[in-house]
Amino acid sequence: MKKYILLFSLLVFTILAKAQSFKDVYESIPMDDRFSSMMDLRHYQVENPKHAICYFKLAEIYDHYMREIDPILLFETLNSNYSQLTTHYGLVKHLLDEKQARQDRDLFGEIEITTDKKKVGLPDIIIEVDKRLLSSKEYYNNAKTVHDNYYQCINKYNECLFKFREILTNYPNYKDLYLLATPKLIDEIKDIELNFDSSLVFFDTYKLSCVQMPHLLEVNEYELNPIITYRLEGLIEADFTAPIVQLWDFKKWSSNFIHLIETDIQKIREELVQTDNLLDKEIEHYLNNESYSNEFDTYKVDLKFQNLIGKYDHASLCNELIEYKKMKLAYVLKTRSEENDVESMKRFFLINKLRFFKELALNKRTLNEEATALKKSTTIDDVAKYIHFFGEEYNAMDGFLRWCEVEKYKNDQIFEDNLSNLNQFIEKETSQFVFKDSLIKYKEKNIAFGVQQFDIDSLQPDTTITQTVTPFQKRWFYLSGFNLNSDSVKVPFLAQINPKGDIQWNIEPKLINENLVKNTSIKNLQITYDSVCHVVSRTEQWVNDSLMIPKTFIESYTWEGKQIKQYSYDSDLDPVYFWIDEINELYLIVEKGEEQIDSVTTHHPMYVKLFNLNDSLLWERHLNLKGDLVGVTLTNSNFLFTFNCSELNVGKYFLSNKDSNMAIASIYITREGKLSHINEYKYVKNLVASSCFKLSNNTLNIIGKVDSPDQVMSKLVYLLTNENGNLDFSNLKELTFNLIEL
């Protein structure tokens, strides 16, 4: 029974619902709740699918929804609402008839009467629906324009931005962009400019569309901001919904970039080749130039051009290369300076030539250090910035690295070629005498500066041979040598020559008892600051008819040739070096004995003796060597002795070279006679010093030669050391230096 009651009630409810009018439903709809209203209307529409007024009201709701939705973020929803309202308005036009129009005219709202009727009729409603459809379509199209242009605008803008960030990732150093710009990168930057132009075009359309919907969007204008940051990831996306949109000015940046590529960068690439070629041309020209001058008019690199390179590459490899070649040009020009002119007839002092070659040697070392630094600083990125230059001029990076090594060899060769001039200067110094009057061959050598007989009318041949010429006090000279008497016996002489070339006096150094001596010869002489000439001679004195004693005697002569003193002592050794210190009242003699042969080695005994001016022996040091004394240098009131030797024995130290090759050794002895240390300079071949000079208080200069690998030519050697003999510079790469503390 209950079952039937329930079914009956449901049937009654259904009949009553169907019988409910739209007016009753519409009046019951909550007007402040659009969603609930739409659901109620849909429920009614399901029950009354042919009632047009329901579709009309639903279309109104969808129109409201459409106009409230953000067309940028929710365009799909807006599009859905637009589809719904056009569908529902279409159903209104399809289902509405005269009867419904008459019955529901009050429910359609305010409808303009377009006919001659007094009340709203079917045509009026249809016309209103068409107006609403047209308005909705216009709004929809505007919203679609806003949406499409927004995304086209932001997409084009973001293409610029993202490409910008991608460029930064590939080129972390902002300024490298210009020099590393490849054709592909340049095209990409041109695309950025085009995309930015497109984004602005879309923005203008987007802006006009936004004006049509001020209730949602307030976009009025954009503002272009210059790109001044060096870190491009600092650029963020733009907010195109803001009233004033902040945009980065990619167009201006791209235009400036292309402009700089076509001006500054193109100038760098063109002038870099020109500058490099001009520097090479200048270097080659002066390398082959046979003239000497201190005022050559050379090519000067434009500093503005180097600054332009530095503007885009502050640590530019090319600027380093230009600086190297400028140094190379200065190095080559130095070899062409007047100081290096062997043929010059000007009076010169050897010390100035030695200083010149010291500077040249240090310049060469600095230049080679620069070449090494240039090679070490070369990276793939550095070469890539100037790929056309290095590719065409140096055969890319590998070729440039080889060029750096070849440069060091060339620099060495330039120094070697000019070193022969120093050898000629030294030879010139030994024969430099302005009053040359004869040339005599003695022991297979041409000896100039013969001192003639006093009688210029004599027809006798020149029998005076000069062995040493010692200048002093503005072109005054002391000459020493020997005269050949009628029996062809050599008699030593000492003469003083004035600046005009006249002989002031001529004496024969000898022991007081001249009848008891023979084979006298002058070994050394020195001029002190008071113009006193100190002479060391060696002779043999007869003790009896069968015995002779070798003697060494020391004499001093005044300016006028008057003998001040004479001191002699017995000695089997030959004096090979003499030096007098008038300030400290000391003099030093180095004596060398004849070659001795024993079961161990072949050597010369050598003694170093220091006397005071009262001829008292202060100390002596003995050493044995197979070789010769090169020279003695006073360093800080101490003595540095330089030898050529294959074997050397001093104190507990014994030096012996493999294959009996000659080497250079320097022994440092203090003023008190203490052996301090020994310096060894060894080479794979014979190394022989010919001269040792003191350039300054802290610089020594050793000149010599070594055998060349082909054993045909000799290689000149140039060494610079400090005051203790420690090596500062050598033109021999394979030279071995050892310091032995004693």
Looking at the structure, tell me whether residues 415 and 462 fall in a common domain: no
Q: Which domain holds residue 321?
A: 263-430
Quote the strand ranges of 528-637, DSSP E: 533-542, 548-557, 563-570, 574-581, 586-592, 596-597, 602-612, 617-635
Residues 6+ apart with CB under 8 A from 45: 51, 54, 55, 58
- Pick the most confident of 110-114, 343-347, 466-470, 533-537: 533-537
Encode pLDDT of 285-314 as tens digits.
999 988 898 888 889 999 999 999 999 888
Q: Is the pLDDT of residue 440 over 50?
A: no
> Which pLDDT score, from 0 to 100, does residue 17 have?
45
Does a structural domain hold residue 122?
Answer: yes
Which residue in the block uniquely carries the two structure tokens 């003639």? 452
> Which pLDDT score, from 0 to 100, does residue 2 have?
42
Alpha-carbon gap, residue 448 to 301, rounded angstroms: 50
User: What average pLDDT does range 198-216 have in this prediction?
Assistant: 78
Encode pLDDT of 229-250 as tens digits.
554 445 677 777 778 888 888 8
Q: What are phi and psi of 446, to 5 degrees?
A: -85, 115
Kindly give the pairing relationship between strand 617-635 and strand 602-612: antiparallel
Q: Are 128 and 108 in contact (CB under 8 A)?
A: yes
Looking at the structure, tell me whether residues 426 and 436 fall in a common domain: no
Looking at the structure, tell me whether residues 414 and 438 fall in a common domain: no
Looking at the structure, tell me whether residues 242 and 371 fall in a common domain: no
Alpha-carbon gap, residue 181 to 384, rounded angstroms: 10
> Which pLDDT score, from 0 to 100, does residue 3 have?
44
Q: What are phi and psi of 564, to 5 degrees?
A: -90, -45
Q: For residue 705, what are the CA distances in angstroms to 62, 423, 602, 699, 717? A: 108, 10, 23, 20, 5
pTM for this model (two decimals):
0.72
Looking at the structure, tell me whether residues 239 and 269 fall in a common domain: no
Encode pLDDT of 152-187 as tens digits.
888 888 888 888 888 877 877 777 788 888 888 889
3-state SS of 675-731 is: EEEEEEEECCCCEEEEEEEEEECCEEEEEEEEECCCCCCEEEEEEEECCCCCEEEEC
User: What average pLDDT does range 628-637 have in this prediction?
Assistant: 85
Residues 6+ apart with CB under 8 A from 251: 193, 196, 197, 200
Looking at the structure, tell me whether residues 233 and 382 fall in a common domain: no
Alpha-carbon gap, residue 180 to 168, rounded angstroms: 12
Does a structural domain hold residue 357?
Answer: yes
Chain mean pLDDT for the chain: 81
Does a structural domain hold residue 736?
Answer: no
Alpha-carbon gap, residue 111 to 128, rounded angstroms: 7
Q: What share of the chain has pLDDT > 90, as a percent?
A: 20
Does a structural domain hold residue 353?
Answer: yes
Q: Are 541 and 510 in contact (CB under 8 A)?
A: no
Residues 6+ apart with CB under 8 A from 614: none
Does a structural domain hold residue 587?
Answer: no
Q: For residue 362, what are the CA distances in angstroms to 365, 368, 375? A: 5, 10, 20
At position 23, the amino acid (one-letter code) is K
> Which pLDDT score, from 0 to 100, does residue 442 have?
42
Alpha-carbon gap, residue 226 to 128, rounded angstroms: 52
Residues 6+ apart with CB under 8 A from 14: none
Q: What are phi and psi of 435, to 5 degrees?
A: -105, 60
Q: Which of 571, 602, 622 delimits the end of a domain?
A: 571
Looking at the structure, tell me whether residues 108 and 186 fall in a common domain: no
Q: Is the pLDDT of residue 563 over 70?
A: yes
State whether residue 521 is helix, strand or coil: strand
Looking at the structure, tell me whether residues 467 and 338 fall in a common domain: no
Residue predicted with more confidence, 558 or 52: 558
Q: Which of 400, 430, 460 delimits the end of a domain?
A: 430
In sequence order, the β-bridge partners of residue 477 are 471, 497
Does a structural domain hold residue 620?
Answer: no
User: What average pLDDT does range 188-207 have in this prediction?
Assistant: 85
Looking at the structure, tell me whether residues 278 and 419 fall in a common domain: yes
> Which pLDDT score, from 0 to 100, does residue 677 have?
87
Q: Is the pLDDT of residue 509 over 90?
A: no
> Which pLDDT score, from 0 to 100, does residue 270 have?
92
Which helix H or strand E contains 146, and what residues bound it? helix 122-170
Q: Is the pLDDT of residue 141 over 60?
A: yes
Q: Is the pLDDT of residue 709 over 60?
A: no
State whether residue 167 is helix, strand or coil: helix
Q: What share of the chain has pLDDT > 70, as a percent?
A: 85
Domain count of the fold of the chain: 4
Question: Looking only at Cα atoms, what is the longest distance across the chain?
Answer: 183
Looking at the structure, tell me whether residues 426 and 438 fall in a common domain: no
User: What average pLDDT does range 127-141 have in this prediction?
Assistant: 85
Least confidently predicted of 117-126, 145-154, 330-339? 117-126
Q: Which of 571, 588, 622 delimits the end of a domain?
A: 571
Kindly give the pairing relationship between strand 503-507 and strand 464-472: unpaired
> Which pLDDT score, from 0 to 100, does residue 333 have?
94
Residue predicted with more confidence, 638 or 239: 638
Least confidently predicted of 64-73, 442-451, 579-588, 700-709? 442-451
At position 14, the amino acid (one-letter code) is T
The angle subtended at Cα 666 by Cα 662 and Cα 672, nearest 5°, is 150
Kindly give the pairing relationship between strand 602-612 and strand 596-597: antiparallel
Does a structural domain hold residue 508?
Answer: yes
User: What average pLDDT does range 315-327 have in this prediction?
Assistant: 94
Does a structural domain hold residue 465?
Answer: yes
State whether residue 87 is helix, strand or coil: helix
Looking at the structure, tell me whether residues 290 and 420 fall in a common domain: yes
Looking at the structure, tell me whether residues 111 and 85 fall in a common domain: yes
